[in-house]
Amino acid sequence: MLIIPAIDLLKGKAVRLRQGDMDDFTVYFDNPLDAAKQFADMGVKRLHIVDLDGAKKGEATNFDLIEKIVAKAGMDIEVGGGIRNMDRLKAYFNIGVKYGILGTVVVKDPDFVKEAMKTYPDRIILGVDAKDGYVATEGWYEKSGVTAAELINSYAGYTAESVIYTDIARDGMLTGINTEATIKLADDIAYPVIASGGLKGIEDIEALAGKKGILGAITGKAYYEGKIDLKQALKLQENNG
């Protein structure tokens, strides 16, 4: 089970939002490269980066900064936020990003998503953000009328590396990952699931470790606020494969 630290980029800084509200955030690093170096020094295998400006605007606003992080991080990088076409996806892969996270387009542009999954079958992550049980889009500003499982199962027959499932109500709140919903989603779909949203401590990782279909968990605010010992979590990762 992978422990995946998160760096969310807003106006060139590493931040964390509360419940997806871009007007309610805390800055943790003025220079996100410093955060990436911390994670690299700890032996993190994969880093989660979200271009929050890009998610809202539909374009890769922090592309140059992400390129610098990729060049220095020395680990697998997954990137999301504003990837709406093949040109942008290819541009990220060309600078060394390992996985592209597709979010809003999973709801709004299935043709592009299927093309991406066919072209890069092992490098596409489907990002599903849920609000009140329903998928949210446009940087969490809009709520759709479909559930996470319904949406993901509409891509049956196509290959994805994984699905990141985020409970927006818990994101940045340190209230604990919605483990019940995450484990159920893993049972209901054909892709491995990465848990996201609200991780509060090592107990969340322990609750998910070894569960069928769970590939990993993303930690953001819990690390930045000192609620989780990342070295301890990484040791748990090693023990659970």
For residue 122, the domain's CATH number is 3.20.20.70
First to last CA, the chain: 6
Note if 51 is an active site residue.
no
Largest pairwise CA distance in the chain: 43
Per the structure block, which two tokens stand in for 38? 């911390």
Indicate the number of domains in the chain: 1
8 belongs to the catalytic site: yes
Structural domain that includes position 84: 2-240
All residues at 6 or more sequence positions from 42 whose CB lies less than 8 Å from its CB, including other chains: 230, 231, 234
Spot the catalytic one: 8, 53, 167, 204: 8
Give the pTM.
0.92
- Supply angle C-alpha 191, 220, 167, rounded to 5: 50
What is the number of other CB atoms lying within 10 angstroms of the CB of residue 27? 12
Q: Which of 129, 167, 171, 204 is flagged as catalytic?
A: 129
Q: What is the pLDDT along the chain (241 residues), one digit of tens a residue?
A: 999 999 999 999 999 887 667 788 899 999 999 999 999 999 999 999 999 988 887 777 899 999 999 999 999 999 999 899 999 999 999 999 999 999 889 988 999 999 999 999 999 999 998 877 788 765 445 566 789 999 999 999 999 999 999 988 776 667 789 999 999 999 999 999 999 988 999 999 999 999 999 999 999 888 999 999 998 888 877 776 5
Residues in CB range of 238: below 8 A, 6 or more apart: none
